[in-house]
A and B are shown apart, each in its own frame.
Chain A
Amino acid sequence: MSKLMSSRIAYGEALVDCGIENNQVVVVVADVSSSVKTDFFEKRFPERFFNVGIAEQCLVNVGVGLSLEGFIPFVNTFAGLLLRSFEQIRTCVGYANTNVKLVGSYAGISDYKDGATHYSICDIAAMRAIPNLTVIVPADAVEVRKFVPKIAEFTGPVYFRISRADTPVIFDDSHQVTIGKGQIIHEGDDLTIIAIGVMVERSIRAAQLLKKEGIKVRVINMPTIKPLDQNLINLAVHETGAMVTAEEHSIVGGLGGAVSEYISQVHPVPIEFVGVYDTFVETGLNHEYLLDHFGMSVEDIIKAAKKVFKRKNEYH
């Protein structure tokens, strides 16, 4: 297996670099600085760092206030806890279209020791339903590092979702990221797997195993869930005719929802979803175990791929 790297550390370091580049960048956090690694920024730029205490609604609105005066606030807590500020995010960030960068760390089920209260398996669904919000889920620590400066430069509210786990590194330093663009990272024309986050690496493994069985799978890394890279999806729909989505999130309303909403309007093809099957996930001994036992194993991806491939052939 590939080398593991920590996304939250990559984030903390990238944020410091951003702070060096641009003195408009400020950081706000709600008493989880040492966990989400904004403590690096605090050390370097104590005057541009603000800890609001355990007060997530205040957290978001402090970011809103800073953005109204021209600063670029990165607002940080656990993804699951940011949901407490959902209304602030809808009204004061989305509706008011303020330049706030919301960073949900410990996302998905990566905070495996803390259980369902600390997981976030419906955050993508919630955030992407808010007009004006851009939603980004990096696939590995390299993408985290590459996206942070892009997000700082970008004008408009962003939700950036980061894992607590040390996850497999997929990309090398030459990797380029663009907000709103996905990319093909494994070629094939029998079916397409669109994946985000830690599921990208698992999807590559699934594609490699399926290749041995003669099924040629295209894998797309789709870090921007909103706005979706419609061209890339269109191409995949026409060239492969079957889709699987894979995400560390509920199958309700996340990547699977976004992709199927789109293709059902332009060119419906069979689609299968890999993710958490609409249930609360229990506490675990490690992240991998939970992924493997709650519907997100490589085997689960393979099953979904075979099923959709069969459906595609029945279709025609």
Chain B
Amino acid sequence: MKYYSENLILKLNNYASQLRMDALKMIYERGAGHPGGCLSCAEIISTLYFYYLRINPRNPHWEDRDRFILSKGHASAILYAALARRGFFEIGELQTWGHPNSRLQGHPDRLKTPGVEMTSGTLGQGLSIASGMGLAAKLLNAKWHIYVLMGDGECQGGVVWEGAMMASKYHLSNITVIVDYNDVQLDGACHEIMPLEPFVKKWQSFNFAVIEIDGHNIIEILKAFDLSKEIHDKPTVIIAHTTKGKGVSFMENEAKWHGVAPDEEQYRMAITELKGGTNE
């Protein structure tokens, strides 16, 4: 097993926390966006963008890059923050999000934003698109890997499972799906709106290799990505148990923080908390 230094883990945790603050700042300043689902995937995004993905900010279309699809496109703020921090564009550009003529649209737009692999925003599309890319990689004999980040609510859509069947039929081991399993969607808790359980068994029965982890634990995320690369006969799904709104206590596990921006006071409290302080 690979050894990961404490420094690396500290770095990736720090990035996660930075991205949380960036995303919240963007959402607060624009008065719009999706805080809950950005905060829940911060460690996954930081591990991908600051360690795992083989990408080149100076050459976003580099042929041999790993592909990342943010299938839960409403988490655009944290993706944009990661792209900026990784050097795809200036951090200052984050302030233009949603403004007239901005390259940063409400949801990811591959034609506008450097580093955005695929346009998204209507849920459910990522895995079937990844299957097409996975087939292409095989035809091309290419070594790059495809990562797809999905929401748990998103998995209620039938097209997800159509894509899953495709990926397993063609043994697309070059695909790793990560499900941000925070058990909250727009209208409430997933287990109430439309239960997904038994979730592990569902993916297993679709012939995926299933890895369950704590999605806020960097070492577990790293190990899961390592493991998925060692599986050569099937696609992998990493079921990442997370907390929606993670890091901001009043947003945690609350559906009402799915898609609204904090006001000034709430924003100040959130940032204090993310910086490690308390609001008492």
| A residues at B contact (CB < 8 Å) | 29, 31-35, 39, 51-58, 80-81, 84, 113-118, 282-285, 289, 293
Contacts and interface: CB of A to CB of B under 8 A. Distances in A.
Interface stretch (B59-67, B102-110, B163-171, B264-272): B102-110
Contact of A118 (B106, B124, B157, B158): B106
B121 A114 contact: yes
Nearest to A83: B122
Contact of A54 (B101, B105, B106, B153): B153
B92 interface: no
B78 to A, nearest CB: 16
Given A54-B156, A55-B157, A117-B120, A283 B98 contact: yes
B40 to A, nearest CB: 16
Nearest to A56: B157
Nearest to B98: A283
22 contacts: A31-B156, A31-B194, A35-B186, A51-B187, A51-B193, A52-B156, A53-B185, A53-B190, A56-B157, A57-B158, A80-B122, A113-B30, A113-B32, A113-B98, A114-B106, A114-B107, A115-B109, A117-B73, A282-B100, A282-B102, A283-B102, A285-B98
B154 interface: yes
Closest 5 CB pairs of A and B: A53-B194, A117-B121, A115-B106, A53-B156, A113-B32
B107 A115 contact: yes
B156 A117 contact: no
Given A32-B186, A283-B98, A289-B100, A54 B107 contact: no
**Chain B contact residues: over half helix, strand or loop, or mixed?**
loop
Interface in B223-260: 255, 259
Contacts of A32: 186-187
B99 interface: yes
A225 B99 CA distance: 33
A55 B102 contact: no
A154 to B, nearest CB: 28
A283 B185 contact: no
A54 B123 contact: yes
Contact of B98 (A54, A284, A293): A284
Given A39-B187, A53-B194, A113-B32, 12 more contacts: A31-B153, A31-B186, A31-B187, A34-B187, A53-B156, A55-B158, A114-B121, A115-B105, A116-B109, A116-B121, A117-B119, A283-B106
